[in-house]
Amino acid sequence: MVVLSWLFVLMLVCFAVAPSLIAPRNPVALDILHRLQPPSFAHLFGTDEGGRDVFSRVVYGTRYSLGISAAIVLSAAVFGVVYGALSGVGPRWLDEILMRIVDIFFGFPALVLALAVAAALGRGLTSVAVALSLIWWPGIARLVRGEVQRIRERPHVEAARAIGVSPTSLIWRHILPFVMQEVNVRVTTDIGYALVAVTALSFLGLGAQSPTPEWGLLIRDSQDYFGSAWWYLVFPGVMIMATTAACSIIGDSLASHRESGVAP
């Protein structure tokens, strides 16, 4: 399963990097004569209401959907790691303040807030990225803070302090490398969840705008047609599900690798 997941992710990366090499057709060119065709050899995933090839749209959409999800999680991770580390090693009062701020973010339904923020910023993938990054970092910050506090009690940190290692080097060389294992697992799994959030906001019309072939937008566009054209709904959805599953399988395998005690 793990190998399969890696292969799937590799395929997605190819889709995102060089869609023109893989997609058989132009993702936005209309072909009204062949509208809403079921899947065939000519159109692997069928065609949509404008006669566009759904497979090509899915391939081109990878760059938008998955690219934005990865960007959200990575930016949230960078901020969350700095924030969490600061909270974990800083003085008690700072930790208290920083963590109360994080708590506030757990006080409201996150997706609804992201929706409000994205709506305020105006439609577009950038708004979605900003809105979701805003709600994504607190979870990572909380994880990092906990890990930092756990690791810093370990004997090797005590030993490093005893021989006079500077605080900066203590954090960078002796604490963060361990914390990053945990963060890697989280980031991998979260990319799948971020994909669901991105496509959800696009589905609501807040993200990519037509005719951008973004996966969530594809599902939104299929709303009026899927009763008679199942392929239009099914394939973009299957791509989202497969990606989420692959991310969590890879995340799990990273987690078990870490548990086996392989230190960086």
Which of the residues 219 through 258 are near other proteins (CB under 8 A)?
Answer: 219, 222-223, 226-228, 230, 233, 237, 240-241, 244-245
Q: At what angle do helices 230-259 and 54-89 cross, to 10 degrees?
A: 30
Q: Any idea what the Cα angle at residue 38 is, between residues 27 and 247, rounded to 5°?
A: 60
- Residue 99 touching other proteins (CB under 8 A): no
Verify binding: residue 120, other proteins, rule CB under 8 A: yes
CB of 244 to other proteins, least distance (A): 6
CA 264 – CA 261 distance, rounded (Å): 9
C-beta of 175 vs 190, nearer to other proteins: 190
53, β-bridge pairs: 47
Q: Is 128 a binder of other proteins (CB under 8 A)?
A: no
Least Cβ distance, residue 229 to other proteins (angstroms): 10
Nearer to other proteins, 175 or 240 (CB): 240
Angle at 83 between CA 129 and CA 165, to 5 degrees: 140
Closest C-alpha among 178, 81, 62 to residue 136? 81
- Residue 167 interacts with other proteins (CB under 8 A): yes or no: no
Structure tokens at 154: 């370990």
The encoded tokens of residue 262 equal: 């392989």
Among 54, 200, 247, 250, binds other proteins (CB under 8 A): 200
Question: What residue ranges bind other proteins (CB under 8 A)?
Answer: 104, 106-113, 115-117, 119-122, 196, 199-200, 203-206, 219, 222-223, 226-228, 230, 233, 237, 240-241, 244-245
